[in-house]
Structure 1
């Protein structure tokens, strides 16, 4: 087995891994090796058991991160074995190539990742989108290298449109992933084919893609919303209240800055929402008193950071260039900042980010249980409830569409199916049965 030092050196040579990534990859590999010391006998089964054990007490994204880290380690070991084999078979002439160089896929992947990453950053896509697209590209490359094994021409693999069809079919049929996840993979790899590989992809209708089911959104009653919010503590109560009061998404709530609140107009600016769009939504007066109290405490924290010369907050790239000192200004401070400083993998600069989505998700999950609400609700249910309750109050569908930030009114129309039973006032014939008949039937 290769030493950890060689593995770390291998990670450093891969441009796609930051220092933070390398640290966590090493941690997960060490934990895996400690829990399954004989993993080399059947590494796939050992990895499966490790992930299943981890899933019993960790969230899905943590399990996926651990699985990816160990898969990277497996790929490294495979490249080492291939390098050793090629050195034994090749005549001893000159200096031997390193393990990474012996495998042509390593250098090809490095070129692919770098080109795709540059395009994503030129388009100013989010860091979350960047990580997701690079992760799907990596999985696709694993699939090509392990299963397809395309022919190499002029120093690069001959990747065809059929390989994408094969992989998407593999995800739908073999892996049985959800329709939403498959759509995410499709979008990521479509960008790879068009921008990096320059390969036309036609006939995707022939792919066995999972059919996305149209489900009615889960909606809480007004009473249930009140019970949920009352069981949260600040700042989580304020965050949940904002989401229900304005219909904003979780990421939009977390991305709010002080300058986005308009107390006089009772409105709130949503910047770079889904699809990179800005919009104006509600900031009701009923929230102003609690918000001002919260901001007084937040101001004390901000002033303390400034006195200690701590880092500022992350800014959009254009703003950071135009106003280099804006990161330290009160107006640009996050409404819900994180407690610790993070390292930006793009710039290598440390700064404060907003709270992680899982923080509020976990708090709402516990509040739902405490309130005895058995519906399959989540943080996003507050947005569904906002739209449904506005419809029940008789507001125009176009107005609700603008408040929600939907591009198409058809997306907003789904809430009419949830609210319609309240608006029609239809009484079931069961309600008119005589009491005796009702008791006999039961």
Structure 2
């Protein structure tokens, strides 16, 4: 809706039915040349307009020979050193610290950490089961040995919170797909509760059950940004940087690239290979200036 509106306003509110390939091409070239948008932004705008003409107006667009596509830039990920990771963790506390340690220690995406359930933690095998990750894939990754005790202590608090919710008539957790209809009682079990629950209860579903969702991603993002400032780290880093650091530090310690690919859940090995470039540009090389 956003990009269709932008397209219509760009052409002085002409109806899309009166326009075709030249007008679409002019708008997309305007985004690339004058607005200097990224490749992904131009692609989103293109897909929106193609959908408009194909599915709504039923007038599929033809080939646009003069379309200037923005070239996607290959950027190296920002990586924190081991000392910088330690300094950042030393500036954090509580649940946000545990989440950050888990993201770094297991190579999780932020949403994978937030959406993890109690049942996904296997203390005996020292593994975490990531459900419905990017691309809808499941995978198993590491559970750091040093986090076993802190995570067990955290789960005691989660269990106490869940018991309180049950006593108040709540205790439900959101269930994916149609699982709630199939296993309604499972939604109130401890295993299905989020590992990092929200502080608030909300209504959910047709029955308007009181459910406790997971913590908001902004909570951990703000805490991590504040920790970077307190640690005096000036890199353009985010909480996702911990996942990049996980991969880079494993590669530096000799872990093979295929294992790292599996732990990160990358479909294509080429995606994981970018961390080899990070190693190449950060490894110890003596400048010729230092030999003068």
TM-score (norm 2): 0.88
Query: Would you tell me which structure has more helix in proportion to its own residues?
Result: 1
Give the structure 2 partner of residue 300 of structure 1: 160
Give the structure 2 partner of residue 262 of structure 1: 122
Give the structure 2 partner of residue 221 of structure 1: 81
Are 2:268 and 1:431 equivalent residues in the alignment?
no
For 2:271, which of 405, 411, 422 is the aligned residue? 411
Give the structure 1 partner of residue 195 of structure 2: 335
**Would the alpha carbon gap of residues 280 and 162 (structure 1) be closer, same or farther in structure 2, given more than 3 Å must change?**
farther
Task: Note the 1:64-75 alignment, pairs <5 A.
Answer: none
SS in 2 for 1:300: helix
Are 2:4 and 1:140 equivalent residues in the alignment?
yes
**Would the alpha carbon gap of residues 193 and 262 (structure 1) be closer, same or farther in structure 2, given more than 3 Å must change?**
farther
For residues 229 and 194 of structure 1, what CA distance do their matches in structure 2 show?
Answer: 50
| CA RMSD in angstroms, aligned pairs only | 2.6
Give the structure 2 partner of residue 133 of structure 1: none
1:141 Cα shift? 3.4
Task: Note the 1:116-131 alignment, pairs <5 A.
Answer: none
Give the structure 1 partner of residue 222 of structure 2: 362
**Would the alpha carbon gap of residues 187 and 332 (structure 1) be closer, same or farther in structure 2, given more than 3 Å must change?**
farther
Give the structure 2 partner of residue 211 of structure 1: 71
CA contact (8 A) 1:218 1:384 kept: yes
Give the structure 2 partner of residue 102 of structure 1: none
CA contact (8 A) 2:50 2:60 kept: no
Q: Could you report, residue by residue, the CA deviation over 1:175-214 in whole angstroms, capped at 9, with x for unpaired residues?
A: 4333333334444555555544444344357433333221
**Runs of 4+ more than 6 Å apart:** none
Q: What are the ranges of 5 or more consecutive residues in structure 2 without an aligned counterpart? A: none
Q: Could you report, residue by residue, the CA deviation over 1:407-430 in whole angstroms, capped at 9, with x for unpaired residues?
A: 11111111111112455x533333
SS in 2 for 1:339: coil
Task: Note the 1:146-157 alignment, pairs <5 A.
Answer: 147=11, 149-150=13-14, 157=17
1:230 Cα shift? 1.8
For 1:249, which of 109, 113, 116 is the aligned residue? 109
For residues 326 and 194 of structure 1, what CA distance do their matches in structure 2 show?
Answer: 43
The farther-off stretch of 223-232 and 160-169 is: 160-169
For residues 173 and 305 of structure 1, what CA distance do their matches in structure 2 show?
Answer: 55
**Would the alpha carbon gap of residues 421 and 343 (structure 1) be closer, same or farther in structure 2, given more than 3 Å must change?**
same
For residues 189 and 66 of structure 2, what CA distance do their matches in structure 1 show?
Answer: 53
Structure with larger RCO (C-alpha < 8 A, sep 6+): 2
**Would the alpha carbon gap of residues 158 and 331 (structure 1) be closer, same or farther in structure 2, given more than 3 Å must change?**
farther
Give the structure 2 partner of residue 122 of structure 1: none
Task: Note the 1:314-325 alignment, pairs <5 A.
Answer: 314-325=174-185
CA contact (8 A) 2:174 2:213 kept: yes
CA contact (8 A) 1:140 1:167 kept: no
**Would the alpha carbon gap of residues 298 and 395 (structure 1) be closer, same or farther in structure 2, given more than 3 Å must change?**
same
CA contact (8 A) 1:216 1:414 kept: yes
Larger Rg: 1
Task: Note the 1:71-110 alignment, pairs <5 A.
Answer: none
SS in 2 for 1:203: coil
For residues 142 and 231 of structure 1, what CA distance do their matches in structure 2 show?
Answer: 44
For 1:183, which of 25, 43, 47 is the aligned residue? 43
For residues 53 and 184 of structure 2, what CA distance do their matches in structure 1 show?
Answer: 37
Q: How many residues align?
A: 291
Give the structure 2 partner of residue 272 of structure 1: 132
**Would the alpha carbon gap of residues 192 and 239 (structure 1) be closer, same or farther in structure 2, given more than 3 Å must change?**
farther
